C-alpha cells in the first residue's frame, strides 16, 4: 500500500486536538458537577445520563475523523500498467533584444515584461517542445527545441539587450533562423512566436515569411509597446542614465509598428496580438490557437496506474458517524428509556 497524498498526514494533528478537547470537556463537566452539588448526591442527579456511552460516542467521532484523514491521504493498493502518449507542438519564441526594447512604455520595460510573460507561458506547457531565438540586427538560436523547461528558463534569463553585437532590428533574420532550426521533418506542428515592437530596419520580412509558410511554419506575432512610443533609457560609459540618441545627436523615440507584425502573421495563417497591461498575449494565443492545432506524438511510455482505495476509510468513517448518532446517552431499562 502507498499514499498518493502523504502531506495530508499533518491533518492528524487536528484529530489529536479534537480528541484532547473532548477529553478536557468531559473532565471539565465532572468538575462543574462537583461544584453544583455534593459528591454523594451526584449519582442520583445524573442517573439519567450514561457516561460510558458518552465516552463511546466521543471515541467513535475521533476514529471517524482519523479515517477521513486517511482517505485524504489517498491510500492506493495494487496497480496496472497504462500507456501514456505524449503529444505536443514545436514552439520557437523569437525575442527582440534591440535597444528599443528598453523603452518603458510597458513596465518595467519592454524586454523585462516580455521575459516575465514567457516564464508564465512555460508553466502552462504540457509536452510541447520549446526553443528560444534572440534577435536584433542578427539572430541566433539561444536555446534549441527542448522539453527541459528549466533549461529553457535558464537560457531566457541570460537574454539581455546587447547580447547580439549588431544593433538594429531585423524580423527577417529571426524568421530565417527559425527556418534553419526547423529544417527538414514534417511540414506541420511548427510554430514561431515573434515578440517585438515591430520596428524593422533591414531585410524583407514579408518575403521571408512566405518562405516560412512553404516550410509549414505558422507565425504568431505579439506587438509590445504603444503606438505613441517612448524614449529609450540607456546607461552611458560613466554609468549614468541618459536617453538614446542617433548619429546626429537627436533623441530617439521608439514606437510600436503593428503593420509588419500583422502582415507576416497573416501570410503564414497565424495571428497578431498586441500585448496589454493585463494580458500579454502568449497564453491567449495558446488557448485560442495553438491548443486547437494538430499535435504530433513525441513519445509514449508505460506507467504504473495505482488503484485508489480512499473510498474504504471514507465509508468506514461514515458508518462510525452514523452509529454514533444511534447511541443514546440516556440510561435505558429494557427497551424503554427512563426520562
CATH number of the structural domain spanning residue 275: 3.40.50.410
All three cell numbers of 235, joined, read 546607461
In a domain? residue 305: no
Residue 38: per-residue pLDDT = 56
This prediction has a pTM of 0.62
End-to-end CA distance of the chain: 49
Into how many domains does the chain fold? 2
Note whether 314 and 295 are same-domain residues.
Answer: no
Domain membership flag for residue 148: yes
- Answer yes or no: is pLDDT of 207 > 90: yes
- Mean pLDDT value across residues 238-265: 75
Structural domain range at position 13: 2-74+310-337
Q: 15-29, 43-57, 61-75, 196-210: which range is least confident on average?
A: 43-57
* Best CA proximity match to 225, nearest among 277, 190, 178: 277
Does residue 180 share a domain with residue 55?
A: no
Judge if 225 and 325 occupy the same domain.
no
- Considering only residues 83 and 320, tell me which one the structure prediction assigns the higher pLDDT: 320
pLDDT above 90: percentage of residues in the chain = 39
Question: Domain check: are 117 and 254 in the same one?
Answer: yes
Is residue 189 included in any domain, yes or no?
A: yes
Average pLDDT, the chain: 83
pLDDT tens digits, 255-304? 888 899 999 999 999 999 998 878 898 999 998 888 888 777 666 556 67
Q: Are residues 125 and 59 in the same domain?
A: no
Nearest-angstrom CA–CA distance, 68 and 319: 12
Residue 107 pLDDT? 85
Amino acid at each position: 500500500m502507498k499514499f498518493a497524498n502523504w502531506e495530508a498526514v499533518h491533518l492528524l494533528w487536528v484529530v489529536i486536538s479534537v480528541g484532547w478537547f473532548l477529553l478536557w470537556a468531559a473532565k471539565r463537566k465532572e468538575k462543574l458537577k462537583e461544584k453544583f452539588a455534593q459528591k454523594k448526591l451526584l449519582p442520583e442527579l445524573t442517573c439519567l445520563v450514561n457516561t460510558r456511552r458518552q465516552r463511546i460516542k466521543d471515541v467513535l467521532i475521533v476514529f471517524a475523523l482519523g479515517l477521513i484523514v486517511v482517505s485524504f491521504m489517498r491510500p492506493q493498493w495494487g496497480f496496472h500498467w497504462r500507456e501514456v502518449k505524449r503529444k505536443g507542438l514545436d514552439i520557437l519564441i523569437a525575442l527582440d533584444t534591440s535597444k528599443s526594447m528598453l523603452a518603458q512604455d510597458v513596465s518595467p520595460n519592454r524586454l523585462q515584461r516580455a521575459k516575465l510573460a514567457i516564464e508564465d507561458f512555460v508553466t502552462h506547457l504540457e509536452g510541447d517542445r520549446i526553443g528560444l531565438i534572440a534577435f536584433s540586427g542578427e539572430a541566433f538560436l539561444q536555446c534549441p527545441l527542448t522539453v527541459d523547461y528549466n533549461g529553457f528558463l535558464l537560457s531566457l534569463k541570460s537574454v539581455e539587450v546587447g547580447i547580439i553585437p549588431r544593433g538594429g532590428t531585423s524580423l527577417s533574420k529571426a524568421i530565417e533562423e527559425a527556418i534553419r532550426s526547423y529544417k527538414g521533418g514534417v511540414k506541420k506542428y511548427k510554430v514561431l512566436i515573434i515578440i517585438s515592437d515591430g520596428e524593422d530596419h533591414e531585410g524583407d520580412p514579408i518575403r521571408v515569411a512566405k518562405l516560412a509558410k512553404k516550410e509549414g511554419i505558422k507565425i504568431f506575432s505579439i506587438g509590445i509597446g504603444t503606438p505613441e512610443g517612448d524614449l529609450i533609457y540607456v546607461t552611458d560609459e560613466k554609468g549614468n542614465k541618459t536617453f538614446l540618441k542617433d548619429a546626429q545627436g537627436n533623441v530617439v523615440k521608439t514606437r510600436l509598428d503593428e503593420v509588419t507584425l500583422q502582415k507576416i502573421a497573416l501570410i503564414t495563417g497565424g495571428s497578431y496580438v498586441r500585448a496589454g497591461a493585463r494580458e500579454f498575449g502568449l497564453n491567449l494565443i495558446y488557448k485560442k490557437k495553438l491548443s486547437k492545432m494538430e499535435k504530433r506524438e513525441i513519445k509514449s511510455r508505460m506507467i504504473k496506474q495505482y488503484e485508489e482505495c480512499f473510498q474504504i476509510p471514507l465509508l468506514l468513517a461514515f458508518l462510525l458517524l452514523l452509529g454514533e448518532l444511534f447511541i443514546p446517552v440516556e440510561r435505558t431499562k429494557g427497551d424503554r428509556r427512563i426520562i
